[in-house]
Structure 1
């Protein structure tokens, strides 16, 4: 089971501010400071530049811990880890030294090539639009994919050089501020533009997918915390003779089933991470692990649905923490990195001999 560690104080700050983070659409200042103190934004800063250089297991565990307290802040930390993973894999050391000057710097990014590269007498310019840039309102750097002729390149651009259009209006993960970044002929030094490695390293691809699953698994555990408080209280099942929730065999059964699903999602996540950290990722291993990722995400959704059945209609109140976890799990678990039907398709293709 994922448990809060020695950074309990910071995680409590995140949990206390989670509702306000959702309301204002991005993490409150105290939550950002607390997340930074946990080292969440330095997880994938290379050790050579003062970061953790963390492997998949540590990244998954720590994002899940954050997600248990505040899924939106954990999601932004995951996006930061992805941006830094790509920057470290793409750019030479001198460019990285500038990008990672502050190992705890918050970075955002979009892997879809939403922009184009243009050249004029002044130098290299980038123009485009990148939706769903989680954390962009608080980030210092953006890693943005763009097309340079037929090639796809990654550009490192200070967020201050970009415009933010507030386009993120979603049922869940509202606190991630995943708005649209816009570049209108932004000058980019040649060194901050580099071809995206093709294909990307399998370990990097899976680690990036774990940065999406971690916050979702943590959110499911956070929802279970809410239900645990309900069972510890004197609340009784409505329209029954039971004195409290724990007296009802049916309620105990569903609690056990929800807990089993959350536990299984965490075990699956950590098993994937251990494989990424320790094994050679060849053949059909990667698509099989991607299927496992999708299965873990579904376990999280199914678990929270059971918890809402246990709680009843009041669990959907806007002010109920369970409803917030439900919204965040429902949206976060449907990220393309956790897409179940594409995972099945890719695994089947890997198992089928080429014609």
Structure 2
């Protein structure tokens, strides 16, 4: 499906909601930035951050309005998580993933959605859609066991979306699925010892022979092809393409990290000399000027790729038109390139600032660690995305991954 790039992308109402949500996120930046070092050092997003985000309505962006959620769109999620990412990469990642998992719940049957939100509209959802668990058919549902990682945001969640395989259904659309499990039924193993995005506390969830009712299972192959179980087909948000949306939500925090790096160079260069040169201010040096130009342009390029994919996703959802394989391949490529360009923007800033960029007191080193880690999430792998996209341009489809 081809979408005209200059076609109207959004309604006035959606645009106004988005502007308000981004304004709320911007108002939280001083708090989140003030807690960023502790978030990284203590390997967890502070409750103060989560409470502030929740109070601002920024953890319900993808929750159905039927349960009190914002029911926004993917461009809104990108812009909010970008704004949060300018203050703290880990907090932005958790914000993006808690919202993304709420979107997954919105694809399930009505009864499953009620299980999560009917009695607890503030319930939050973490998850790992990688099928690293198994589901065995029993009367009324399934017995599920497995280990799932990395479960970003699980420390702040009430439910989990978990990927499973069903050996009994091999060769059918139910062979791989996602299930909904209450967090109290899962154990959390502290395994997230990493260089970057440390505050996401993306630990491992463990489940052993858990009963999952049949209505809390959703086929992943069905979802990949746009066949969702939700009966609320008039809700545009829950018509968005599964894989492009799942990939795109990871780019928002990285857009914010790139913007934060550019901001740091802009703010600090005037007060610093260029070591071992005659320049008393880095702003006078062509090398710094060029570095800033390249970093800012790369950050812009990352944003343009991500926003194009978001526009295509949101417009298709509003139109009720499921994108074809080639369109989805390009969306996944856009997400991969957004991550690459954002990462390169941060690298350019680090090079311009020299070894001091990696001093522990310099927030740039945390930004660098966060984006080097976050940009390497498997669903963003730019080489896999490029192979999928390149083959699709030649008319070769479905030979690399089912996740398109």
1:14 aligns with 2:52: no
1:44 is matched with which residue?
62
Report the CA distance between 1:122 and its aligned residue: 10
- Residue 94 of structure 1 and its aligned partner are, at CA, apart by 2.4
Worse-matched range after superposition: 29-38 or 183-192: 183-192
Is 2:113 aligned against 1:93? no
Of stretches 244-253 and 121-130 in structure 1, the one that deviates more from structure 2 is 121-130
Q: Is the 8 A contact 2:134 2:144 kept in 1?
A: yes
Q: Which residue of 2 aligns with 1:237?
A: 274
Q: SS where residue 338 of structure 2 aligns? A: helix
3-state SS in 1 of match to 2:250: helix
The one of 369, 378, 383 aligned to 1:341: 383
For 2:183 and 2:82, locate their aligned partners in 1 and report how far apart those are by CA, in whole Å.
27
CA RMSD for the aligned pairs? 2.2
TM-score where L is the length of structure 1: 0.92
Match 2:249 to one of 200, 211, 214:
211
Q: How many residue pairs are counted as aligned between the two chains? A: 352
Change (3 A) 1:331 1:248: same
Could you tell me how far apart the structure 2 residues matched to 1:195 and 1:323 are?
41
Q: Which residue of 1 aligns with 2:313?
A: 276
Residue of structure 2 equivalent to 1:309 = 351
The Cα of 1:268 is off from its aligned counterpart by 1.8
* Aligned residue among 130, 134, 137 for 2:152: 134
Residues 124 and 292 of structure 1, relative CA distance in 2, 3 Å threshold: closer
User: CA offset at residue 180 of structure 1?
Assistant: 0.6
Deviations 1:55-103 (A, max 9, x none): 11111111111111111111112212221222211x2212212312444
Q: 1:156 aligns with which of 180, 183, 187?
A: 180
Contact 1:41/1:105 (<8 A) preserved: no
1:251-262 mapped onto 2 (5 Å cutoff): 251-262=288-299
Deviation at 1:353, TM superposition (A): 3.7
Gaps of 5+ in 1: none
Of residues 48, 54, 60 in structure 2, which corresponds to 1:30?
48
Q: Give 1:53's aligned residue.
A: 71
Structure 2: which 5+ residue stretches go unaligned?
Answer: 1-18, 170-174, 227-239, 398-404
Instruction: Give CA deviations for 1:30-74 in whole Å, capped at 9, x if unaligned.
Output: 111122123221011011211111211111111111111111111
Does 2:182 correspond to 1:175?
A: no
Q: Is the 8 A contact 1:258 1:303 kept in 2?
A: yes
Aligned equivalent of 1:351: 393
- Which structure 2 residues correspond to residues 284-323 of structure 1 after superposition, within 5 A? 284-323=326-365
The answer to whether the 8 Å contact 2:282/2:288 transfers is: yes
| CA drift at 1:158 | 1.4
Tell me by how many angstroms 1:22 deviates. Answer: 1.0
The answer to whether the Cα contact below 8 Å between 2:133 and 2:147 also exists between their aligned partners in 1 is: yes
Aligned residues of 2:306 and 2:335 also touching (Cα < 8 A): yes
- Structure 2 residue matching 1:126: 3-state secondary structure: strand
Deviations 1:109-151 (A, max 9, x none): 0111121224668974321111101111221111111123232
SS of the equivalent of 2:94 reads helix
- Give, in whole Å, the separation in 2 of the partners of 1:41 and 1:197: 27
Aligned partners of 2:26 and 2:83 also within 8 Å: no
Q: Give the TM-score normalised by structure 2.
A: 0.81
Partners of 1:195 and 1:284 in 2: CA distance: 22
CA distance, structure 2, for counterparts of residue 36 and residue 156 of structure 1: 22
Paired with 1:209 and 1:354, the residues of 2 have a C-alpha distance of: 21
Distance 2:42 2:253 in 1: 19
CA distance, structure 2, for counterparts of residue 84 and residue 43 of structure 1? 8
Q: Is residue 363 of structure 2 the alignment partner of residue 326 of structure 1?
A: no
Seen in structure 2, the aligned counterparts of structure 1 residues 207 and 32 have a Cα distance that, compared at 3 Å, is same
